[in-house]
Every structure is written in structure tokens, then in C-alpha cells.
Amino acid sequence: MIWTPRNEPAFHTSLGLQALCRRIQDVGACDILELGPVRNRNLDFWSRFQPSIYIADLRSSLPLPDSGAAEEAEPEPDWGQILGLPERTYNVILAWDLLNYLDISSVSSLARHLARFCGPEALLFAMIYDQKQMPDQITVYKIADESHLEYENGSTATRLCPRHQPRTLAAAMPGFSPDESFRMKNGIVEYLFRYAP
């Protein structure tokens, strides 16, 4: 089964989310940086970990490149201004499918910026499409339980997928190494990156 565009919500089994929850359940209180939109269901889910959650919704604030435009060198995003993160450290960063919508140079600059806010052994959860097409817009994910995600997209349009490969991502994200990965039936590879500079 591969990803197909749809308007109505759908569910998928998330081994990456399951692994993330397993890794942080014994940590006690943790600090979470959410790079996606605010969803009450997600906040309710994370409450069991006694978290401090900071929302930096890049879905609404990041100008996505035009998939139909000719390739041009994009200026490096000013992540400090875009994210506006307070001076603190995080144990968990939820990137969802955001990295698919950035060129590899922007992935690298984002990782360098996020590294400034990572606590020891911080985990970054990312979902990478590994097929020719992907949704034209960043997907909204809602956590159903520790093993299942509901995902919805406001459009059935698609764009070419950059298909970022593990070695390319690891080279572009100094300090972050892929600690666990899970290839899903819907054409997504879920990663847990561990920060260890």
C-alpha cells in the first residue's frame, strides 16, 4: 500500500511513535518541542508524561517551495525568527513530515538551529516519504493512542517527493543520528533521531 491523496481523515499504525513513547516513559517530566499545529488530542496524549510543551507551528508559518517552479537557490530560512524559541532545552522534538518539504540545505540549517535547544540524548521524531509523490501540503497528525495516528490533509493535490535518504539526512544533521527507523506500508519511513554531539 502506498500513500494516496484523500480529504477524509485516515489512520495508520505508527511504530515510531510507539518507540518514542517507550523511550520517554521512564524519563519522568520531559520538555517537548512541537513543530506542527496545536491539536487538543495531542496535548491530552502527552499530558501523561508531565510535559512542558512549546508549540512552533511551522505548517502555518513556513513558506513552502512551489513544487512546479524551476529549481532556484532558496535563501536560507531565518530559523531564529521563524521559530522564536525561548532559551531552554528539549528532550523531544516532533517534526512529523516537515523535513519532506525542505530542501536538504534547509534541513541542515534547521538541524543546526534546533541543536542549540537539545538536551542530552534528545529525540527527534520525523516521518520521511519514500515514493515518487507525496501530499502537496504538510499533513496534520492527531495521536489516537501510542501506536496509531490519524492524519488528514486539506487537499488531494500531490507534488514530487525529494525522497531524502538516511545517509543524506545523517550528513545534513550534525549531532543527530538515526537511532531507530521503521518502514511503513503506506510509503513512509519513521525515524527517531538521537542528539549526541
For 98, the domain range is: 10-59+84-195
- pLDDT value at position 68? 45
Q: How far apart are CA 102 and CA 110, in angstroms?
A: 9
What mean pLDDT do residues 146-158 have?
A: 87
CA distance 46 to 110: 24
Question: What is the CA 171 to chain-centroid distance, rounded?
Answer: 17
Max Cα separation, the chain? 48
Q: Is residue 70 one of the residues assigned to a domain?
A: no
Query: Which CATH number goes with the domain that contains 116?
Result: 3.40.50.150
Using pLDDT thresholds of 50, 70 and 90, give the confidence band for residue 171: very high
Cell of 39: 491539536
| Span of 36-40, 68-72, 142-146, 155-159 with lowest mean pLDDT | 68-72
In a domain, 68, yes or no: no
What is this structure's pTM?
0.89
Whether 3 is in a domain gets the answer: no
Angstrom distance (rounded) from CA 56 to CA 33: 7
Under 8 Å between Cβ of 35 and 61: no
Q: Does 2 score more than 70 pLDDT?
A: no
Q: Is residue 79 part of a domain?
A: no
Encode pLDDT of 79-91 as tens digits: 999 999 988 999 9
Is 69 contained in some domain? no
Q: What is the pLDDT of residue 65?
A: 55
Question: If you average pLDDT over every residue of the chain, what do you get?
Answer: 86
Long-range contacts at 139-145 (CB < 8 A, ≥ 24 apart): 139/96, 139/97, 140/36, 140/37, 140/39, 140/59, 141/36, 141/39, 141/42, 141/96, 141/97, 142/9, 142/39, 142/41, 142/42, 143/17, 143/39, 143/41, 143/42, 143/45, 144/11, 144/41, 145/45
1, part of any domain: no
In a domain, 67, yes or no: no
**How many domains is the chain partitioned into structurally?**
1
Residue 51 confidence (pLDDT) above 50: yes
User: Does 176 fall in a domain?
Assistant: yes
